[in-house]
Structure 1
Amino acid sequence: MSESNSKIVEIDNGELIYYTELEKHINTLSGKFQEKSVIKQSVYDDIIKCLLLSKDKPLTLFSSQFIFWVKKHFIITKIAAADIACCIKSKKPICIYEMFYNVIREAHTTISHGGRDKTMHELNSHYSWIPRFAVEIFLKQCISCQTRKPLKQHVVTKPIISLGVMTRLQIDLIDMRTRPDVLNSSITYNWILHCIDHFSKFTWAYPLQNKTAVDVALKLRELFFVFGPPRILHSDNGREFVASVIYELKELFPDMIFIRGRPRHPQSQGCIERANGVLCDALGKWMSINTSSHWSNGLLPVVYGINTRLSVVTKTTPYQVMFGQAPRSDSDFWTLVKENKVIDEEDLPTPIADLNDDNMMNNKNDDFNVGAENIDEDIIQLVQQLSDDAVANSLVDISLPHSSSVKSQQTKHDLIRKVATDNYLNVANKKMKLYQDSIINETEKLNLNDCVGVKINTVDRTNTDAKLLPCLIIEKIEKDEKITFKLACQYGKLENTYSVEHLIDLKMACPKELKQIIIDDLKDITFIEACKLYVRASTTGKTCDCKGKCATKQCSCKKMGVYCSTKCHSKRGGCTNMGE
C-alpha cells in the first residue's frame, strides 16, 4: 500500500507559517500567561493610554489589575518626539507581537545566523518583551541553520542480535597517528586493531605499525587459530578490510561469513564504535597513572581489565562468558600461596579453588533459576523474528528454560553462558521495543508533501556546505509492516527509499526551490549525485565526472567557465581545471 502525490506543491510564505506556529504555542500556555506572554498592538496602545493618563483623571477605562501591571513593568520614553513604551528594567522599547518576524529575522541575520542565545542577546540589546519561544520557533524556519545544525540521532538505533560466543566478531581500526608509539628507530606503532565478540563483549587489541591489509590479516589469522574463527566477521568498508588478502582467510576458514557495514553508516558498527571509545579512555588513564607514553605496552593490561569487569548487557564478565570461570589469579588459593611464600610444589596448601568452583556452580544455579523466571516467550519470538544472524539461531538453543530440552545437569560453563544469554535477550528485547516505538512515533509525524532532510556525508560536502539535503515526501510505502518514504529533491526523484530513521523534520524550513515543483517532470537521480548538485548549485548547478583531465569543453565545468571542485571526480587526480 502506498500514497503518492504528483501535484504542484504549494507552501505558504514563511511569515504566515511563523505566526501560525507561534499562535499554536501561545494557546498551549495557561490562560494567566496567554495575554501577557506577548504584547500585541491593541494592548500596546492601551499601555500608552494608561501611562499618559494624569492622576487627577478617573481611571475607569482600565481595570485596577491592568493599571497595576502597567505601572509595575512599563514607562514612557520620548524618542523623536514620540511616546514610546519601554520596559522599566531594561529601558528598552517594547517589541510588539506583529513585529516579531521582521525584528528577529534582522537580528538573526546581523549576527551571521548565530544560535538561540546569541540571537536573544542581540534582540535584548535593542528591544524588550520578546519571549524566548518566539526566537526558537523562528530558528526552526531558518533554512540555512536547519540544514547545518549538528545532527542528533532522533530515532533509537535498531539492535544487532547475535547469540553465542564467536558468532559475530566486529573489527575496526583506531587511528593513533596523532600519538605514535615510538619503541625504537625501526618500530613505530600508529594503529590499533580492535576486535570484540558481540555476544560476550570479549575484546582483543593489537598494535600495528601500518593499517595495511597484510598486517590486519596477520593478526586476525593469529586470533582465529587460538580462539577459532567466528561465524560472521563484521567490518566497515575500509580498504584494509576489503582487500584480497583478507578474503584469503576464507580459504583457511570456509565456513566464515564476511559482512561489511553500509557505506558511510557507522551506526551499523555500533558495538565496536562504542568499544573504541571505552578502550581509548581506559588506555589514556593507564598512560596517565603509569606516566608512560608507550600505549602499546598498556594494551594488554587495559584489555585484560576490560575483559574481567562486569558487562551491563550479560550481567557477568566477558572473561567468564568466554572461559566459564573467573581468572585464577583472583582465587583465595593463590592469595594463601602468596602470603605463605610457597615455592615448592610439596608445600602447596590443600587446593581450595575446587571448593570455590563448587560454590560458583551453586550460585550460578540460583542465578539461572531466577533468570529463567524472568524470561518471556515474547523474547524468544523476538529473536527468531528479528535476529539478522540466522547462523546464531542454528548454533544456540534458545528454547525456554523450563522446556524438556534443557538437561537436568549442566556444567558450570553452560550455566554461566545460559545466564549471560538470558540477560542478553532481556536487554535486546528492551532495545528492540524502544526502537519499534520510536519508529512508530516518528513515522506518524510525517505525511505527503512534508519537507524532510537527509544527511549528506562529509565526503560529499565541504565544511561550509549544508549537512542536510532538503527533500519532499512524494510517496509513503507500506510493505511487510514496514513503512518507507520515496523522496524528491529539486534535482530529481531519489532512486532509493528511506525509512524514518534517516529523515530529519524540516517542515518549517522548506527551501524556495521545493515550494513549487512538478513531481511528474522530475527524473530519477542517485542520492550522491543530488548531494553534489545541491552543494554546488550556488556556482554552476552541475558537477562533472570526466575520465580525462578536464582540459576540453567536453567537461561541463570547463564549458561553463568554472573550476572543478572536490565534488567533481573527487577520487581522481590529474585534473587541469582546478585553478592555481
Structure 2
Amino acid sequence: MAHFARNKNLPYTMEEIQRMTNSCRVCAELKPRFFKGDSGKLIKATAPFERLSIDFKGPLPSTSSNRYILTVVDEYSRFPFAFPCPDISTQTVIKCLTQLFYLFGMPAYIHTDRGSSFMSNDLKTYLHSLGVVTNSTTAHNPQGNGQAERYNGIIWKVVILALNSHNLRIEQWEEVLGLALHSIRTLLSTATNATPHERLFGYPRRTPTGTSLPTWLTTPRIVLMRRLNRTNKHDPLVEEVELLKANPKYAHVRLSDEEKPLYH
C-alpha cells in the first residue's frame, strides 16, 4: 500500500495507512516499538589498561594462513592492538593476549561478545588465574561490544587505504596492518581531545611527518622567513634569508644584511 501511495500519490493515503498500522494488533505484536533510553555506557574506564574490549574480524582473503584479526582496544585511551590469526579458537585468543600481557601487564577487566572462543571455560580460567575479570555482552546484543566492533571497521578502512596507496592487493593486508595501526594511534580523538598514544603513554607519539624535513629545507638556498624586526606595520611580514642547514629542531640561516649566521 505504501509503494502504491508513493507511485500514484493518492491524497491522504499515507496518513490512512499510518493510522491503520498504528491500531493494528498484528503489527503491534510483530513490530513493536519500545522506548529507547540513553545509550550511554554503564561502565567506563577511568585509567589506561583498566578495561580492554576484544573482538574478531574475518574471515579475510589472505596470502598467508592468517585469515582473521583479533582486535583489542584499551577503552580508556582507545589505543588499538591487532593480531593476525589463523583461526578464532580459544587457544589463539590466549596466545595473543599472552603476548599483550607480557608487554603491558594485565588489565583489570576484559569485555567480549558472546562468541564461542570468548565464552569458553578455558579462556575464563586463564584470565581468572591472572586476576582479570571477564564480562560479555547480553544475548543477541553484539552492539554491547561496540568499541571493539567499531575499531574493527576503522582498522580495516585504514588498511584498505594503505593497500591502495602502496598498490597492493587486498590479500596482502598483513603487510600494511602495522602502518594502519600506527596511523590510528596518532589520530586526534574529538571525544578525548588527545591521540590514543597520548592517552595511554602520556606523551606525543613521534612520527616521520612530525620529525622529518620538507624537501625545500634539505639543501642550502634562499628562503623566506618571518621578519624579526618591523619598524612599522607597512614593513613586509617576511624577508629573504640564506638557508645554510636545517634539522627538525632549528634552522641555520644568514640574514641578507649580516655576516654571521643566525639560529632560528
1:277 to 133, 141, 153: 153
CA RMSD after TM alignment: 3.3
1:303 to 140, 164, 181: 181
Tell me how far apart the structure 2 counterparts of residues 147 and 335 of structure 1 sit (CA, whole Å).
66
Is this contact kept in 2: 1:221–1:249, CA < 8 A?
no
Task: State which structure, 1 or 2, has the greater radius of gyration over its C-alpha atoms.
Answer: 1
1:129 maps onto 2:5 in alignment:
no
2:126 to 229, 249, 262: 249
Is this contact kept in 1: 2:213–2:247, CA < 8 A?
no
Number of the residue aligned with 2:100: 223
Number of the residue aligned with 1:234: 111
Query: Residue 222 of structure 1: SS of its match in structure 2?
Result: helix
Is this contact kept in 2: 1:169–1:233, CA < 8 A?
yes
1:172 maps onto 2:55 in alignment:
yes
Alignment CA distance shift 1:145-1:239 (3 Å): same
Tell me how far apart the structure 2 counterparts of residues 288 and 331 of structure 1 sit (CA, whole Å).
20
Number of the residue aligned with 2:36: 154
Give the C-alpha shift of residue 192 in structure 1: 1.1
Query: Residues 27-426 of structure 1: matches in 2 within 5 Å?
Result: 108=1, 116=2, 118-121=3-6, 124=8, 128-145=10-27, 154-159=36-41, 160-174=43-57, 176-177=58-59, 179-183=60-64, 187=65, 189-250=66-127, 253=130, 255-291=131-167, 292-293=169-170, 294-330=172-208, 334-335=212-213, 352=249
Is this contact kept in 2: 1:332–1:352, CA < 8 A?
no
Alignment CA distance shift 1:290-1:210 (3 Å): same
5+ long unaligned stretches in structure 2: 220-245, 251-264
5+ long unaligned stretches in structure 1: 1-107, 109-115, 342-348, 354-580
Query: Residue 173 of structure 1: SS of its match in structure 2?
Result: strand
Give the C-alpha shift of residue 240 in structure 1: 0.7
Alignment CA distance shift 1:244-1:152 (3 Å): same
TM-score for the superposition, normalised by structure 1:
0.34
Give the C-alpha shift of residue 282 in structure 1: 2.5
Cα deviation code 1:517-559 (max 9, x no counterpart): xxxxxxxxxxxxxxxxxxxxxxxxxxxxxxxxxxxxxxxxxxx
Give the strand-richer structure, 1 or 2.
2
Alignment CA distance shift 1:288-1:330 (3 Å): closer
Give the C-alpha shift of residue 208 in structure 1: 0.9
Query: Residues 373-522 of structure 1: matches in 2 within 5 Å?
Result: none
Give the helix-richer structure, 1 or 2.
1
Give the C-alpha shift of residue 351 in structure 1: 8.2
Give the C-alpha shift of residue 280 in structure 1: 2.7
- What fraction of aligned residue pairs are identical, expressed as a percent? 22
Tell me how far apart the structure 2 counterparts of residues 285 and 246 of structure 1 sit (CA, whole Å).
34
Query: Residue 82 of structure 2: SS of its match in structure 1?
Result: strand
